């Protein structure tokens, strides 16, 4: 196989000016969001010394995000997706301002951190379906696999640099400086999105139905399409059982005996593995059995979390997290491609919302169950049980007859 088959395909960036602006906005957004989440997690752990408190950050963010995702999914199939993205990313600025103002207080408030997370979650929930559903119009359905790989790369590069920058800034200039940089990045995003062309949804007759009826239509489409239903279920199982992010501040502080810089490195490790995978993802566009590849990736994801549970040193811990991030990215790129390829344009907003809803709920619930298990037993036991359950769920999909195993990679 030629080397070019392993290099990420940049055709969407080369051929679509609009996608370049959307990509720049996404990259800026994920970079500063990664910084903010790590900063808030470290701040919460310093204030509470509890992984459960860190896990609750994800819960407070996920609950309004889920509601907003459902609303945003319907809106994305009714109104111009460009305007929806611009307004929602502008509202996100309020969330960052709350984080910053709270950090400037003599005694920062845990409650304010949770409120800021709720505002940010709601704003993100509105914008995510709009961005995902706009992608086919920006690049064409023939380039969806390449666009998914590029989106994964931006997400993971932001996930690498964001946590590392957050850890270094908190250990150096301090938490306030970190939030100021996040604010600057968040304010840039709406200006980049304003360069996109109008992106109205195509097809369907959504104005003839209420918002509730429109959502039910999308939900029924998902339930009646075995492939889409299985894609959502396997991702839900993986993120619920094997999301260890809430444990990383405790893992860095208690297990590894290090501080904020090491915790930032742990948060960056999954993104390092994912970024390397995205950079070498040229093969993704020619995968013939994407469903089986997704199942294998989820199985490896679980094994990586099991390996993390057995590690007591920084570099083995980072390696396990990097493998987890790599497996997650392979699964995510293929799932995104299949969802966008097998959904009509006028339902893309709602399907994107449903996909992200289960991901948000699963991630929040996964962090919560990891934090609870860590409190009842230990971080190592929580990781061991979760990793085993994740791999077992992949084994169940592999051993049963389902649409995921049967799907092929043709557009």
Determine the Cα–Cα distance for residues 203 and 170; give it in Å rounded to an integer.
49
Predicted confidence at residue 1, as pLDDT, reads: 46
Q: 376 burial class (0-12, 13-18, 19+ CB within 10 angstroms)? A: exposed
Distances (CA, A) of 408 to 303, 392, 411: 26, 24, 9
DSSP per position, 97-152: HHHHHHHHSSS--HHHHHHHHHHHHHHHHHHHHHHHHHHHHHH-GGGHHHHHHHHH
Q: Is the pTM of this model over 0.75?
A: no
Output the CA torsion sign for 395, 398, 401, 404: positive
Q: Kindly report, residue by residue over 358-393, the tens digit of the pLDDT.
A: 777 777 788 888 888 888 888 888 889 999 999 999
Determine the Cα–Cα distance for residues 411 and 159; give it in Å rounded to an integer.
30
Residue 3 half-sphere exposure toward CB, CA atoms < 13 A: 0
What residue ranges define each of the domains in the chain, with the CATH number in brackets?
A: 9-406 (1.20.1250.20)
Predicted confidence at residue 12, as pLDDT, reads: 82
What would the two tokens of residue 397 be?
A: 């999909």
Predicted confidence at residue 390, as pLDDT, reads: 92
Backbone φ and ψ for 401, nearest 5 degrees, come out as -90, 120
Confidence of residue 100 (pLDDT cuts 50, 70, 90): very high
How many residues in total does the chain contain?
411
Contacts of 411 (CB under 8 A, 6+ apart): 141, 142, 144, 341
Query: How far, rounded to the nearest angstrom, does the alpha carbon of residue 337 sit from its chain's CA centroid?
Result: 15
Confidence of residue 306 (pLDDT cuts 50, 70, 90): very high
Determine the Cα–Cα distance for residues 6 and 4; give it in Å rounded to an integer.
5
Determine the Cα–Cα distance for residues 77 and 37; give it in Å rounded to an integer.
29
DSSP 283: G
Residue 24: its H or E element:
helix 17-48
What would the two tokens of residue 276 be?
A: 């390397």
Question: Does the pLDDT value for residue 31 go beyond 70?
Answer: yes
Residue 316: its H or E element:
helix 314-341
DSSP SS3 for 174:
coil
Predicted confidence at residue 392, as pLDDT, reads: 94
Rounded to the nearest 10 degrees, the angle between the axes of helix 348-376 and helix 51-76 is 170
C-beta of residue 169 within 8 angstroms of C-beta of residue 38: no
Q: Kindly report, residue by residue over 50-80, the tens digit of the pLDDT.
A: 777 777 887 788 788 878 877 887 788 788 8
C-beta of residue 387 within 8 angstroms of C-beta of residue 303: yes
Q: What is the mean pLDDT of residues 11-15?
A: 82
Rg of the Cα trace of the chain? 20
Average pLDDT of the chain? 81
What would the two tokens of residue 331 be?
A: 């699964």
């Amino acid at each position: 196989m030629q080397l070019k088959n392993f290099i990420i395909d940049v055709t969407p960036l080369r051929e679509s000016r609009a996608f370049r602006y959307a990509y720049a906005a996404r990259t800026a957004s994920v970079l500063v969001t990664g910084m903010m989440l790590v900063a808030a997690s470290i701040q919460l752990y310093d204030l509470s010394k509890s992984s459960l408190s860190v896990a609750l950050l994800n819960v407070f963010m996920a609950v309004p995000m889920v509601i907003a995702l459902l609303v945003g999914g319907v809106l994305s199939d009714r109104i111009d997706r460009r305007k929806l993205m611009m307004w929602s990313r502008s509202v996100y600025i309020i969330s960052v301002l709350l984080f910053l103002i709270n950090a400037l207080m003599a005694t920062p408030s845990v409650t304010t951190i949770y409120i800021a997370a709720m505002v940010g979650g709601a704003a993100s929930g509105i914008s995510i379906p709009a961005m995902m559903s706009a992608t086919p119009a920006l690049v064409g359905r023939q380039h969806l696999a390449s666009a998914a790989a590029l989106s994964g790369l931006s997400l993971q590069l932001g996930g690498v640099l964001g946590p590392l920058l957050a850890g270094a800034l908190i250990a150096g200039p301090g938490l306030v400086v970190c939030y100021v940089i996040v604010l600057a990045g968040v304010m840039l995003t709406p200006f980049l999105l304003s360069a996109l062309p109008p992106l109205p949804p195509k097809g369907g007759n959504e104005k003839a139905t209420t918002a509730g009826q429109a959502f039910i239509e999308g939900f029924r489409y998902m339930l009646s399409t075995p492939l889409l239903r299985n894609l959502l279920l396997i991702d839900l199982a993986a993120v619920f059982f094997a999301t260890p992010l809430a444990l990383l501040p405790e893992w860095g502080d208690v297990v590894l005996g290090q501080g904020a810089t090491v915790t930032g490195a742990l948060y960056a490790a999954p993104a390092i593995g994912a970024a390397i995978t995205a950079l070498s993802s040229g093969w993704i566009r020619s995968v013939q059995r994407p469903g089986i590849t997704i199942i294998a990736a989820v199985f490896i994801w679980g094994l990586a979390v099991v390996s993390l549970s057995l590690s007591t040193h920084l570099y083995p811990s980072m390696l396990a997290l990097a493998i987890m991030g790599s497996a997650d990215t392979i699964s995510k790129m293929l799932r995104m491609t299949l969802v966008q390829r097998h959904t009509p344009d006028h339902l893309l907003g709602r399907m994107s919302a449903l996909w992200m809803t289960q991901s948000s709920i699963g991630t929040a619930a996964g962090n919560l169950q990891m934090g609870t298990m860590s409190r009842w037993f230990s971080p190592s036991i929580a990781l061991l049980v979760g990793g085993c359950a994740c791999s077992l769920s992949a084994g169940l999909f592999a051993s049963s007859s389902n649409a995921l195993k049967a799907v092929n990679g043709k557009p």
